Structure 1
Amino acid sequence: MDSKAMRKRILITGASGFTGKHAVVHFMKKDYEVTAAMRKEMSCEGASVVSCDLENEDQVMKLIEDANPHYILHLAGQNHVGSSWEQPLSYVNSNVIGTLHLLEAVRKKVPTARIVVAGSALQYNPSDSSTLTHPYSFSKTMQILVSEAWAKLYNLDVVIAKPSNLIGPGHSNGVCSIFAKKIAAMEKGDEKKELHISNLEARRNFIDVRDAVAAYEHLFLFGQRKAVYEIASSVCYSLKEVASMLRTLAHVDFQITNDEANSEPFLIPDTSPLQLIGWKPNYSLEKSLLDILTFHRQTKD
C-alpha cells in the first residue's frame, strides 16, 4: 500500500501563528500529512500551505474539501485582550463566525473528522456575567459554545482544549516573551536596565507551547468526544518569580520595579483527565524561559 495513503491527514488552521508554527513542526516530525491554513501564505517546509480566510464561507468549504483531513487542529483567531476592547466585532467574526464556517464545512464534507478546538483559560462562565471581563473572553466562550452545540446537534467529533498561558520560543504577545525581549535588548545595550511590572504578585499558570501541541496530538488519538481538557502545568508562578528566573538567566543585571504587589487568587487547572490519556509536560518553566530568551537574543525585531 502507498505509504502516503496510510499517513493521517491533519489540517492546522492559524498555522502561521505562535502555536501554529510549533504545531506544523510537531506533526511533520510525526509523519502526518500536514495542510497549513493561514490568511497570508508563508513557507512551511514539507507542509501543504493554503491561504484561507475563515470568515469567507466559500474559502473554508474549499479548504476542507481539498484537504480532506482526518484531524483538524483549530488554532485560528484573534487572541489579544487589549485590542479586543477596540475591535469587539472583529473578534466575534474571527473567533465565532470563523469557527462556525469551519464546523459547517466539516459537517458537509468530512463529518467523521476529529476537530480539536483550542479554547482559552480566559473563557468566562456564561451563567455568571460577573466573570466576563473583556470582549476576547466573550468571543472565546462563544467559540466553545458553538463548537459544543454543533457537536451535539450534528454529532460531530469535537474535542475542546483549554490551554493555560502558552510560552516558548517564537513571536508571542505573552508576558514571558515581553520580559525576555526587553532583557535581550538590555544585553545589547539598547534598553534601560530596568524591568517594570505592574503587579509583581500577579500569579499565572504557564505551559510550554511544545507541551501543548503534544497534548493536542494526545487529544486526537485518545481524547473523548465532546470532552473538555485543561492543558496546564501543576504550579502557578508570580510575575516576580518569573522575572527573578529571567534575571538569573540574563547576561546583564537589571532592576525590577513595580506599581503594586497585590496577590490574586488563582486556581490550578485540573489536568488529570489529560494525564489519564498519557500526557505530561516535559518543559520546566526555567527551560522555557531560557529558550524564549535565546530566541530573542538571536532575533532581529
Structure 2
Amino acid sequence: MTHRILITGANGFVGTALSQLLEREYVDCKVFALGHGEGQRNAIDLLDREAIDSAVGEIKPTALIHLAAVAAPSDARNAPRHAWNVNVTGTMNLAESVLRHAPNARFVYVGSSEAYGASFLDMSGPVTESVPLRPMNVYAATKAAADLMIGQMAYDGLRAVRFRPFNHTGPGQSDTYVVSAFARQVAEIVSGKRNPIIHVGNLQAERDFLDVRDVVRAYARSATMDLADGPHHVYNIASGQPRKIRDILDMLVAQSGIDIEVRADPEKLRPNDIPVASGDATKARERLNWAPLVPFEQTIADVFGYWQRLCNAR
C-alpha cells in the first residue's frame, strides 16, 4: 500500500523534520505539504473551508498529520482570538473535510502537554493521558479544546489519533523557545557578536524535553500503522524525565568553554508558570512501539551547532 500523507504546517520546524523522516525512511509514502504564509509552497489558510475542501478532495490522503497552529504561547497570549480561530476552528475545518472527502484517512492531531496545565500542580511524577485537561494559558486552552473536539469526532467516525507531546527541540527551532534561545545567545557570545552575558527567565522550572527527531517518529508511525479505530488513541510523547532549565543552560555554557554571566530578565518570566511538568509515555511505548532514542546531550550539541553555523555564516 502506498501511503498518501498530507501534512499541515509542513514548512515549520516540526513539519520539516517530519517530511524529511518520511522521505528518508518511508519508501511507500507520498508526502503532500500544506504550508502557510506568503511565498510558502502550497500555502493554505486553515480558515478557508473551500480551499481546505478542495485540497483534501484532490489529494484524498490516507493520513493527515495536523501540525499547523499558533504554536508559541506568547503569540497566542498577544492575539487570543486569532489563536482560537486557527487552533480550534481551523482544526474543525480540516477534520470535517477529512470526514467528507477522505473518510478512511487517519487524522493525526498534534496537541500539547500544556493542555494538562493545573493538573501538573496536583501530581507528583509523570502524568498519564487520563489526567484532566486544565489549561492555564490561551495557547494551552486552544489546544485542549481542539483535543476534546477531535476526541468527540472520533465517536462520529473520524479515525483520529491525538498526541500530547511534551517540550521538544532540535536544530532549526526558532529562538522563541527556551533551548534555542539559550543556544543562540551562547553561540553569539562564542562568535564575538554578543557580550558574555545571557538573559534568562525562570531557571528553576523543570520540563520534560525530547528531540524533535524522536517526536516525529511517533507521528509517522501512527499515520502508517494499522491501528484499530475508536476514540481511545490519545498518547503522551514524553521522556518521563524532567530537566531543570538551569541544567540545560549549564550544558550549553559548558560547550562554549567561556565564562558567561547569567542575568535574570523579568520580561522573560511567563505568567502561570508550572514548577514541574513531565509525562508518562507508557501507552505510546506499548501501542505504537515508540520510545525516545536520541540522547539529550546529542540534542543540545546539535542545537548549539546549528546556531554556531548560523552565526559564522553572517
Whether TM-score is above 0.5 comes out as yes
1:268 lines up with 2:278 in the alignment: yes
Among 47, 57, 65, which residue is 1:55 paired with?
Answer: 47
Shift of 1:149: 1.7
The aligned residue for residue 127 of structure 2 is none
Q: After the TM superposition, which parts of structure 1 deviate over 3 Å for at least 4 consecutive aligned residues?
A: 40-43, 124-132, 222-225, 257-260
Among 284, 287, 298, which residue is 1:287 paired with?
Answer: 298
Distance 1:56 1:266, change over 3 A: same
CA deviations on 1:71-106 (whole Å, 9 max, x unpaired) are: 111001101111222211100111011101101110
The aligned residue for residue 123 of structure 2 is none
Distance 2:192 2:245 in 1: 24
Among 67, 82, 95, which residue is 1:90 paired with?
Answer: 82
The aligned residue for residue 251 of structure 2 is 245
**Equivalent residues of 1:124, 1:138 under 8 A apart:** no
Distance 1:126 1:155, change over 3 A: farther
> Which aligned pairs between 1:51-130 and structure 2 lie closer than 5 A?
51-124=43-116
Distance 1:74 1:178, change over 3 A: same
Distance 2:66 2:259 in 1: 41
**Equivalent residues of 2:133, 2:144 under 8 A apart:** no
> Which aligned pairs between 1:6-25 and structure 2 lie closer than 5 A?
6-25=1-20
Matched AA of 2:137: H
The aligned residue for residue 170 of structure 1 is 172
Q: How many correspondences in the alignment? A: 289
**Equivalent residues of 1:53, 1:59 under 8 A apart:** yes
Which segment is superposed worse, 239-248 or 191-200?
191-200
Among 131, 137, 140, which residue is 1:137 paired with?
Answer: 140
The aligned residue for residue 191 of structure 2 is 188
Identity, % of aligned pairs?
29
**SS in structure 1 opposite 2:115?**
coil
Among 32, 37, 54, which residue is 1:35 paired with?
Answer: 32
Unaligned runs of 5+ in 1: 1-5, 44-48
Distance 1:252 1:41 in 2: 40
Shift of 1:197: 2.3
Shift of 1:234: 2.6
* TM-score, normalisation: structure 1: 0.89
Matched AA of 1:255: E
**Equivalent residues of 1:201, 1:239 under 8 A apart:** yes
Q: Which has the higher contact order (CA 8 A, sep 6+)?
A: 2
Matched AA of 1:179: F
Matched AA of 2:261: Q
* TM-score, normalisation: structure 2: 0.85
CA deviations on 1:244-274 (whole Å, 9 max, x unpaired) are: 11122225331233479xx964253110011
CA deviations on 1:183-209 (whole Å, 9 max, x unpaired) are: 111111111212232222111111111
**Equivalent residues of 1:167, 1:209 under 8 A apart:** yes
Distance 1:40 1:82, change over 3 A: closer
**Equivalent residues of 2:18, 2:220 under 8 A apart:** no
**Equivalent residues of 1:201, 1:264 under 8 A apart:** no
**SS in structure 2 opposite 1:11?**
strand
